[in-house]
Homo-oligomer: A and B are copies of this chain.
Amino acid sequence: MRPTGLSIHPTTVTKGEQTRQRIVEAAAPIFNRLGYDGSSLADLMAATGLKKGGIYRHFASKEELAAAAFDYAWDSVWKVRMRDVSEATPGIENLKRRIANFVERRSPVPGGCPVLNTAVTAAEGNSVLRARVAKALRTWRESLEAEVESAAERGEVKTGVEPKTVATVIIGTLEGALMISRMERNTDALIGAKEHLNRYLDTEVSA
């Protein structure tokens, strides 16, 4: 993961690192839309405006660039999905806010959810990318689990409800609906998923 601007010496951000960042930002939509195999260096060259040499100066291989691009893409969607969430009332309402964000906000990286895309296209044969996706998925789930637990601590949650299950149901339902929506080219499935999860939280999770 690249520095996120928290450095004490912001002037130490070299020109090279800026270029690297530019490459990553340009590459992310390519990989996200076309997949790892479907993205050629020519595509990347066109997107970045650099030649191969310019790209290979910053990344040792296509795979390394794809990994950085995934990290960037994931970071981007994460920020969008978490925006306004902390301001919501904690607990169940907070979870509903996250769900609404997922459903109502388009991916800032063209091509849809990078977790779904990369999980499928790089499930086999690309252990580097696979590990990144698995990590992102774990991060996401643990964040949801933590929210469930904090709700539980405030007595908002039925006894016997397992945070991990709730988190998994939410993620799975949202990602599955996303796949359907993309195939059907409308948002019916996503909206149905949101309403379903909200009722689920109200009737099965809430105390």
List A residues at the B interface (Cβ < 8 Å).
Answer: 33-35, 37-38, 111-112, 116-117, 119-121, 123-125, 130, 133-134, 137, 164-165, 168-169, 171-180, 182-184, 188-189, 192-193, 195-196, 199-200, 203-204
Contacts and interface: CB of A to CB of B under 8 A. Distances in A.
In the A-B complex, the 6 residue pairs with the smallest Cβ-Cβ separation, listed nearest first, are: A176-B176, A172-B176, A37-B37, A120-B120, A172-B177, A175-B176
Contact of A120 (B121, B184, B199, B204): B121
A124 B203 contact: no
A93 B111 CA distance: 38
A35 B189 CA distance: 25
A49 B196 CA distance: 48
B34 A125 contact: yes
Contact of A124 (B34, B120, B124, B180): B34
Among A112, A123, A137, the one with the most B-chain Cβ atoms within 10 Å of its Cβ is: A123
Contacts of A175: 175-176, 179-180
24 contacts: A34-B37, A37-B37, A37-B38, A38-B121, A116-B120, A119-B183, A123-B183, A165-B192, A168-B180, A168-B189, A168-B192, A169-B192, A169-B193, A171-B176, A172-B176, A172-B179, A172-B189, A173-B173, A173-B176, A174-B176, A175-B179, A176-B176, A203-B203, A203-B204
